[in-house]
Amino acid sequence: MKKISRRNVLKLAAASGALLTAGKGMVGNALAGSIELAMGGRDFNPDTGKERKAVPTVCYNCVTRDPKIAFVEDGRVVKIEGQPNSIRSLGKICAKGQAGVNQVYFPDRILYPLKRVGKRGDGKYKRISWDEALTDLAARMKKLRDDGHPEKLMYHYGRAKGSSSKLPKSLFMATYGTKTIGNHTTICEGGKFVAQELTWGKHYDNWDFDNTEYVLNFGSSIFEAHTNHIPLSQRLMKAMIERNVPFITFDVRLSNTASKSTKWEPVRPGTDLAVLLAINNIIMQEDLYDREAFTYIRATEDVTASVDEKIAALKKHLAQYTAEWAETKSGVAATDITKYAREFAKAKAATVISYRGLVAHMNGTEGERAAQMLAMITGNVNSPGGRCLAVAPHWKYPKGPKNKPHAKKLKITNGQNIAYPTHGASHQVLKMIKDGSHGRPDIYFWYCYNPVYVNGECQENKDILSDEKLMPFTVTSNIVYDESSKLADLILPDTSYLERWDWDGNASPTQVAEYELRQPAVEPLGECRNFSDVLCDLAKRMDMPLGVENMEEFVKLSCEMTPALKGLPGGGFEYMKKHGVYHDPKEKPNFYVHKKIIKDKDLKKEGVIFDEATGVYWNWKKSKAKDEADAKNKGYFDTHYSYKGYVGQKIGNKVYKGFKPDKINKTGFFELYSTLLKVKGYDPMPIWKDIPGHEKLGGNKLVLTTYKVAVQIHSRSSHCKWLSEMFHDNPAWINSKTAAGLGIKNGDEISLSSVNGKIKIKAYVNEMIVPGAIAISFHLGREESGRYGSGKKSPMASDNDPDLKLKWWDTYGVHPNWLITNKPNPVSGQMCYMDEVVTVNKV
Amino acid sequence: MTTNTRDDRREMLRVTGASLAAAGLASVSLLQPKEAAAAQVKTPQWVMIMDLRRCTGCRACTVACKSEYDVPIGAFKTVIKQVVTGKYPDTRKTFIPRRCNHCEGTEKVGNITVPPCVKACPEYPKDRRVFVTAEGKKIRYRGGATYKRPDGLILIDNDACTGCGKCIDACPYGARTFNKRKLSGKDKSKNAIVKCSSCVHRLDEGVTPACVNTCAPGARIFGDINDPNSDVAKLAREFSLLENRDKTTMKPEAKTMPNIFYIDPDGVLADYSFDDKDKLTEYRDIVE
């Protein structure tokens, strides 16, 4: 068999295509056996054989943002495939990505601006013109701004990345003057981000499965869902099958991921930290650590401590965490813990991976920091096959008007008394508004977000958002009528991601940046308008032009400004429109970045000073210090925004790039010992913490755990028929022994209650969950999500989908969040989703 | 078994009427069709291997297929079934991808060996057809509402179909159902039949099936088993798939000789069963 290039495959295929017109009697598989089949890149109508138009673009059904091709036929997107030229996705895309077609054409889609006409929450709307909608909204916003209170416009977004993050925030909101901006990160993985920032500076880690020899997994369902799902999961599977890489998963549940693992280690909820501390301890006591790595580690208050002192300090700190102790906490056998510790440390390259199963707990910050510790002390950080600082594209973009106002902010986005809410505390926003002591927004404007549904304590969210005294004016830009849209005074019909422009990109598993362009595959349906285009329009109506007409122009200018792209054939924008992705073929993966020596001349630059207490060289001019004397007097640690001037870390007599801080005044060490934590009253090193409330478990008191399945996005896909057809019911998983003890049989209706309320749900009694836990996925139980997701027709919905008559399910599942407390982790603000104790009874 | 050579490929182009210039290939002496036939070339035989070690139950294949054909709600051409065995904590969960097995069959219609669905089809055999192999060999065969192509694909010609549904009943796997949004070609009071075609419309253009295209863990491997250098042939040798059909194919007792093989080192296929009664509901994909 001769391999031929893709180019030739295309030509050959075109040649054989002639056969199709010769009549079906002559149709033969002309290419069989003689050439390798092309993996993709082209698609055809199965009935007519006509080739479908291929539009390179980028998925947005989840934050992974796989580059893809949208195939268009007669002006409709009919099929989606992965982009074969992407170094991230390698031409693959998941079930949710494939179902992106449904995001455009689901019959309950909002197609026109809708204005509330009944009581808020009654669901009565009338169709209005864009001009009416924006005239009203612009007048309200202009009044706030002209009254000197731009901060009373709150912008709250769920999913906004790339240019869809920058244009609304850096252009519109900045020019308008509000910094009352919330996100959704702490209901996701904010705690993982903060823990990483405290340890190695940046918030996002890449896992180099292409080169790893061993993988330990604490609470990541990487084969179902992940923030870099398709790029990482396929590489992990390849490593397992083709190189026999062991993959051990610690999880309360036999997830699909756990089931594909070399070994599933069931772990009691909230006890992964104990296992990690014990593994670290064994590695230290048995001298299996990487001595050289300790050069870059901080394990004591004293930043000048020798490697031996640091090793001794860590050994001493961990000594109490024996494998036997960890077994009593977690249920994982001490012999297994010891075995994994030794195997991990002895592997040539090993990766420790983690997600919400580890971090969405009250001890989640310690958990993630203990995982970071394991990677670092075994020399598996920024190394081939290890846990590496993520590499993503560096886009340049227009910054809008030069003279922006000094933006104001209501202090309602970071919760209260959280030590380092560097990613906000989104699930606390509504509570803060209810509380009112830090002010309330007059206009609450949310985008790609569903605050009622995605946060815990759904009833309270609903009550707050319904209350016109707390929330005078509510507005959203959305494609779907959901639980929160239902409480909006004004609903603006957004474009789906297949109808809009964006520049984008995400971490690359190869450690080489990939640039991505999202372009419209089809014209927007109805009167849908992209949210960012609407903001440009609103800006004009308020006499504050942003310097770009719309998102297309913003994206075009960004392509032309970005150094990596501007010199490409035909210009950056034209190149990206044609190809969809770009990476520099000459760029090599950059490992061991922390070991880079800082040049002398960089230390002698204007403003760079040395801080004795931390060993950090930093440029005080980039901080908030008044002058050099002020900077020196306060020092690196206590000067506001000193981290912005970080240059390098002095270790011995050399200055290294080290682990550059990103959000907080961390040193350039890999901080296993954190002064930042110490000054806030927390132990500077990861210690064991029992989960408050878990001491009273047993009987019918179970720990509620939630999870994602492979075929639904958290909250934005239940209206997609191809996904909800497969997943529209979510019974609660309960171990057969636990169930027997409570007299519960498979299929029984059970009730779960917590301090926040009560739900009824069917029991799924099985052998796939640790005793004492109960698990419910969190995609279903939709009050509003159109007919496919909730059985309810949305206002002004159409009936133009022939599948509506064939819909055969009438169950829509149950949502667990009604029970879950919006409780933040005290260090990171992470919502402790997995800690809720519920009382379970047979109904 | 012969290896397909470069020359074979050139010959294929000539026979299909494509110009060499269009194909961008150099012109050298070509085999004539007669010579090609003399070289004992085999027809291709399309095979899919489901590697159960790799399948993560993600259902990208299921949705890709839905989308490729706009398969109506209620019908599926490919699904993933889940098998759970063992007691906690030694529980195992395995995913079994399923689609039409494109069976070789063991029954005869005339000289042709056909699977139960083709045998049951009252509209088979019908029109005379010619299949041109890559080497230019012409193979005559018969079309019908459900028929077997010489490369092993079991296909539906809706123009010939009366929508009688006998093929649905005949399939031991439940792989066929009615398409409730499409009428049969010959009887507009009946529905058309829907089932996997191995994406023949893509194959004939040199592109792999939609489910294979999207399978991130690489659990679906597709190719010509008659090509000894193909991935499927290599895997078939490595795992003795052809020799152990009772363990590597679905429901071997049905004696249909499937062309879908399973790499199943843990012997999970043996734990997976469905009877005739629930075979149709087996083709509804539900995520547990």
Nearest C-alpha of chain A: how many angstroms from B94?
7
Nearest C-alpha of chain B: how many angstroms from A274?
20
CB contact under 8 A, A771 and B88: yes
Closest CA to A276 of A676, A834, A681, A689: A689
Helix (H, G, I), strand (E, B) or coil at A316: helix
Nearest C-alpha of chain A: how many angstroms from B139?
9
> Which pLDDT band, with edges at 50, 70 and 90, does A34 fall under?
low
Both structure tokens of A641: 């925004």
Q: Residue A652 pLDDT > 70, yes or no?
A: yes
**pLDDT digits 0-9 by tens, A689-746:** 999 999 989 999 999 999 999 999 999 999 999 999 999 999 999 999 999 999 999 9
ipTM (interface predicted TM): 0.95
pLDDT at residue B41, as a whole number: 54
Report chain A residues whose CB lies below 8 A from the CB of B53: 241
Give the helix/strand (H/E) hosting A540.
Answer: helix A531-541
CA A117 to chain centre: 36
A97 touches chain B (CB under 8 A): yes
Residue located via tokens 């159109």: A786
Report chain B residues whose CB lies below 8 A from the CB of A37: 203, 206-208, 222-223
Report chain A residues whose CB lies below 8 A from the CB of B16: 15-16, 18-19, 30
Helix (H, G, I), strand (E, B) or coil at A486: helix
Q: Residue B22 pLDDT > 80, yes or no?
A: no
Both structure tokens of A39: 């993996």
Task: Characterize A314-334 residue by residue with b for buried, 16 or more Cβ atoms within 10 angstroms of its Cβ, and e for exposed.
Answer: beebbeebbbebbbebbbbeb
CA distance A226 to A357: 12
Both structure tokens of A420: 């380092």
Best mutation target among A37, A255, A723, A780 (most B Cβ atoms within 10 Å) is A37
CB contact under 8 A, B63 and A711: yes
DSSP A161: -
Best mutation target among A10, A16, A220, A734 (most B Cβ atoms within 10 Å) is A16
CB contact under 8 A, B214 and A9: no
Report chain B residues whose CB lies below 8 A from the CB of A22: 17
Both structure tokens of A534: 């609407």
Domain map of chain A by residue range? 6-105, 205-389, 593-679, 694-842
Residue located via tokens 């455009």: A104
The residues facing A68 across adjacent strands are A57, A82
Closest CA to A480 of A783, A185, A70: A783
Nearest C-alpha of chain B: how many angstroms from A662?
33
CA distance A345 to A279: 9
Task: Give every strand in the sheet of A350-354, ordered side by side.
Answer: A263-266, A247-251, A214-218, A350-354
| H-state helical runs in chain B | 6-15, 20-23, 33-38, 60-69, 116-120, 166-170, 200-203, 210-214, 231-238, 245-248
CB contact under 8 A, B16 and A721: no
- Among A24, A51, A710, the residue with its CB nearest the CB of B57 is A710
A44 touches chain B (CB under 8 A): yes
**pLDDT digits 0-9 by tens, A510-541:** 999 999 999 999 999 999 999 999 999 999 99
CA distance A824 to A806: 44
| CB-neighbour burial class of residue A111 (10 A; exposed 0-12, middle 13-18, buried 19+) | middle
Q: Residue A10 pLDDT > 50, yes or no?
A: no
Q: Residue B9 pLDDT > 90, yes or no?
A: no
**CB contact residues (below 8 A), chain A span 164-223, against chain B:** 223
Q: Is the peptide bond before B265 cis (omega within 30 degrees of 0)?
A: no
**CB contact residues (below 8 A), chain A span 347-386, against chain B:** none
The residues facing A145 across adjacent strands are none
**DSSP string covering A445-505, please?**
EEES--HHHHSS-HHHHHHHHH-TTT-SEEEEEESS--TTGGG-SEEEEPPPGGG--EEE-
Q: Residue B5 pLDDT > 80, yes or no?
A: no
Both structure tokens of A579: 């190809």
CA distance A762 to B140: 57
CB contact under 8 A, B214 and A82: yes
Report the percentage of chain A scoring pLDDT > 90.
Answer: 95
Residue type, B107: E
Nearest C-alpha of chain A: how many angstroms from B43?
8
CA distance A59 to A62: 8
Is B66 within 8 Å of B244 (Cβ atoms)? no
**pLDDT digits 0-9 by tens, A280-332:** 999 999 999 999 999 999 999 999 999 999 999 999 999 999 999 999 999 99
A3 touches chain B (CB under 8 A): no
Average pLDDT taken over every residue of chain A: 95
Both structure tokens of A253: 């549940």
The residues facing A698 across adjacent strands are A701
**CB contact residues (below 8 A), chain A span 711-730, against chain B:** 711, 721-723, 725-727
A333 touches chain B (CB under 8 A): no
Q: Which of A92-106, A579-593, B123-137 has the lowest mean pLDDT?
A: B123-137
Closest-CA residue of B relative to A72 is: B68
User: Is there a common fold for A6-105 and A694-842?
Assistant: no
Report chain A residues whose CB lies below 8 A from the CB of B130: 25-26, 28
Q: Residue A27 pLDDT > 60, yes or no?
A: no
pTM of the model: 0.94
- Among B59, B69, B87, the residue with its CB nearest the CB of A95 is B59
Q: Give the long-range contacts of residues A316-322, CB within 8 A, separation 24 or more.
A: A317/A685, A318/A277, A318/A280, A318/A281, A318/A284, A318/A285, A319/A281, A319/A285, A321/A274, A321/A277, A321/A278, A321/A280, A321/A281, A321/A688, A322/A278, A322/A281
Average pLDDT taken over every residue of chain B: 87
- Report the CATH number of the A694-842 domain: 2.40.40.20
Closest-CA residue of B relative to A30 is: B134
**CB contact residues (below 8 A), chain A span 733-762, against chain B:** 735-737
pLDDT at residue A7, as a whole number: 37
pLDDT at residue A487, as a whole number: 98
Closest CA to B214 of A46, A507, A84: A84
Q: Which residues, at least 6 apart from B64, have a Cβ–Cβ distance to it below 8 Å? A: A79, A81, A98, B210, B211, B213, B214
pLDDT at residue A446, as a whole number: 98
Please count the other Cβ atoms lying within 10 Å of the Cβ belonging to residue B130.
13
**pLDDT digits 0-9 by tens, B33-55:** 344 443 455 678 999 999 999 99
Domains and CATH numbers, chain B: 1-41 (no CATH), 43-103+198-274 (3.30.70.20), 107-194 (3.30.70.20)
Radius of gyration of chain B from Cα atoms? 20
Radius of gyration of chain A from Cα atoms? 27
Helix (H, G, I), strand (E, B) or coil at B182: strand
pLDDT at residue A36, as a whole number: 78
Both structure tokens of A627: 């002058």
Nearest C-alpha of chain B: how many angstroms from A42?
7
Q: Residue A268 pLDDT > 90, yes or no?
A: yes
**pLDDT digits 0-9 by tens, B181-224:** 999 999 999 999 999 999 999 999 999 999 999 999 999 999 99
Nearest C-alpha of chain B: how many angstroms from A842?
21
- Report the CATH number of the A6-105 domain: 2.20.25.90
Is B138 within 8 Å of B130 (Cβ atoms)? yes
**pLDDT digits 0-9 by tens, A503-515:** 999 999 999 999 9
Give the helix/strand (H/E) hosting B93.
Answer: strand B92-99
Q: Residue A811 pLDDT > 60, yes or no?
A: yes
The residues facing A766 across adjacent strands are A735
Q: What's the average model confidence in pLDDT over A105-122?
A: 97
pLDDT at residue B275, as a whole number: 85
Q: What's the average model confidence in pLDDT over A372-389?
A: 98
Closest-CA residue of A relative to B134 is: A30
A262 touches chain B (CB under 8 A): no
| CB-neighbour burial class of residue B72 (10 A; exposed 0-12, middle 13-18, buried 19+) | buried
CA distance B63 to B214: 10
User: Phi, psi at residue A216, to the nearest 5°?
Assistant: -110, 135
Both structure tokens of B96: 């079994």
A766 touches chain B (CB under 8 A): yes
* SS3 per-residue string spanning A557-586: HHHHHCHHHHCCCCCHHHHHHHHCEECCCC
CB contact under 8 A, A803 and B201: no
- Among B57, B95, B206, the residue with its CB nearest the CB of A12 is B206
Closest-CA residue of A relative to B221 is: A39
Helix (H, G, I), strand (E, B) or coil at A101: helix
| H-state helical runs in A605-697 | 628-638, 675-679
- Among B72, B88, B130, the residue with its CB nearest the CB of A735 is B88
CA angle A209, A211, A217 (to 5 degrees): 35
**CATH superfamily entry for domain A205-389:** Dimethylsulfoxide Reductase, domain 2 (3.40.228.10)
pLDDT at residue B280, as a whole number: 84
**pLDDT digits 0-9 by tens, A402-422:** 999 999 999 999 999 999 999
CB contact under 8 A, B67 and A78: yes
Nearest C-alpha of chain B: how many angstroms from A807?
6
Q: Residue A17 pLDDT > 80, yes or no?
A: no
Residue type, A357: G
Q: What's the average model confidence in pLDDT over B237-255?
A: 97
CA distance B239 to A584: 40
Give the helix/strand (H/E) hosting A741.
Answer: helix A736-741
- Longest CA–CA separation in chain A, Å: 89
Give the helix/strand (H/E) hosting B181.
Answer: strand B177-183
